Amino acid sequence: MGRLFDIFTTPLAVLGVLFMVVAVNVFLYVRYSSKMPTPLPAEHTGPSTTIETTERKNGKIAFQSDRGGSYEIYTMNADGTNIDKLTTDPAKDADPTFSPDGNEIAFTSERDGDSDIYKMNADGTRLVQLTTNTTTIDRDPSWSPDGKKLIFRSDRSAPTNFEIYSMNANSTGLIRLTNNPAVDTDPTFSPDGKKIVFASNRNGQDYDIYKMNADGTTLVQLTTNRAKDEDPVFSPDGKKIAFRSNRYQNSDIYTMNPKGTWLIQLTTDPAEDDEPAFSPDGKKVAFDSDRSGNSDIYTMNVKGTSLIRLTTDSATTLGADWGVR
C-alpha cells in the first residue's frame, strides 16, 4: 500500500491525474453543451427613460440697492464679492430676476414715467422694454422654467386692482390669469412650469399664499393665517415653498410643502426678514433683512442655520435673486 501511495504522489503521476480530469471535463462540455438552452438576450424596452440630473451650480446674486443714490440693479458673487452695477438710470430699478439659463435679467423700472417690465443681458447690456402701458404699474416679473414666458402683477384692469398676467419673453401674447377685485401679487412658477404660486388678500385684509395652474385655473389656498404671508417661491426640486410671514409680529422666513402643510420657521430674529430666494442647488436661501440696522442681503442653509451677511454698506439693499451663472 505504501508503494502504491508513493507512485500516486510522484510528480509524473500528479500530472497524469490532472490531464485525465481536464480531458473528462472537455468531453462532457462537447457532449452536452449543444443540448443546453441558449441564454435569452436582455429584454429591450426602447430608449432609456432614466432622467439624468445634474446639480445646478450657484452663480451670481442679483439685487436692488440705493447705494448710488437711486435704486439700481446690481450683481455679486454668491459670497458677496465682486459687486457690479448693471443699471445707471436716475429712476427706480427694482425686482431683478434671472432667466433660467442665467443669461438675462428681467426687472421693473420707472424710467419712462411709470413702472414697466424690462429685460437685459446679465452683464447689463442690450436693454429691452417689454411692457409700455403708460397708466399702469407692472411689477414682480418671474420667468417660466423654459425661459419662454414671464409672469408679473399689474393694475392695468383697474387702479390698485393688481392681477397676475403672463406674456412671452418677447412681450407678445399677454394673458390675464387672475380676475378678482383683491390684490394678487408676487407670482412665481413651479420648477416644472405647471403651477404658479402667489400672494393675495382676496380672503380678507390679510395676505395668504395661493397656488393655481399655469393657465390660471384650479385655485388652491395654501395658508389661512390671519397675517401677511407673501413672497412665495418654489425650491428647485419643487418640494418646498419658501415665503415670508409676520404671523408672530415681525416678518420671518418660512417653508412649507406645496400642499401648504409641514410649516417650518427658518428665521426668528426680531428684525424684518423678507423676499426669500433659493440657490440653484436648493441648499441655501438668500433673503434681505434689516437686522443690522439697514436692509442687507443674507444667506442661510435650508434649515435656517449658517447665516452669512453678504452686503455690509449703509444703503438699503433688497430683492435678491440667485442665478446659475
Contacts of 256 (CB under 8 A, 6+ apart): 222, 223, 240, 241, 243, 262, 263, 264
Average pLDDT, integer, range 22-28 = 43
What's residue 149's pLDDT? 98
> How much is the average pLDDT of 51-62?
72
Cα–Cα distance, 232 to 218 (Å, whole number): 18
Q: Is the pLDDT of residue 158 over 60?
A: yes
56 band by pLDDT with thresholds 50, 70 and 90: confident
Residue 159 banded pLDDT, cuts 50, 70, 90: confident
Q: For position 47, what pLDDT does the model report?
A: 33
Q: What is the pLDDT of residue 205?
A: 76
**Cα(first)–Cα(last) distance of the chain, in Å?**
86
**pLDDT, tens digit, for every residue of 280-301?**
999 999 999 999 999 999 999 9
Global pTM reads 0.83
Buried b (16+ CB within 10 A) or exposed e, 17-42: eeeeeeeeeeeeeeeeeeeeeeeeee
**Could you write out the DSSP letters of every residue in 157-181?**
TSTT--EEEEEETTS---EE----S
pLDDT at 50: 31
The chain-wide mean pLDDT, for the chain, equals 87
pLDDT band at 244 (very low <50, low <70, confident <90, very high): very high
Residue 157 amino acid letter: S
Please give the average per-residue pLDDT across 156-163, as a whole number.
Answer: 91
Which comes out higher in pLDDT, residue 30 or 172?
172
Provide the pLDDT for residue 160: 84
Domain ranges for the chain: 89-176
Please say if the pLDDT value at position 23 is more than 50.
no
3-state secondary structure of 218: coil
User: Residue 7 and residue 183: Cα distance in Å, rounded?
Assistant: 104
Interacting residues of 323 by C-beta distance below 8 A, sequence separation 6+: 59, 60, 61, 62, 75, 98, 102, 105, 122, 280
pLDDT in tens, 132-147: 988 899 999 999 999 9
Q: What share of the chain is helix, strand, coil (3-state, %, to 5)?
A: 10, 35, 55
Q: pLDDT tens digits, residue range 181-238?
A: 999 999 999 999 999 999 999 988 799 999 999 999 999 999 998 899 999 999 999 9
Q: What is the mean pLDDT of residues 17-25?
A: 44
Mean pLDDT of 236-241: 98
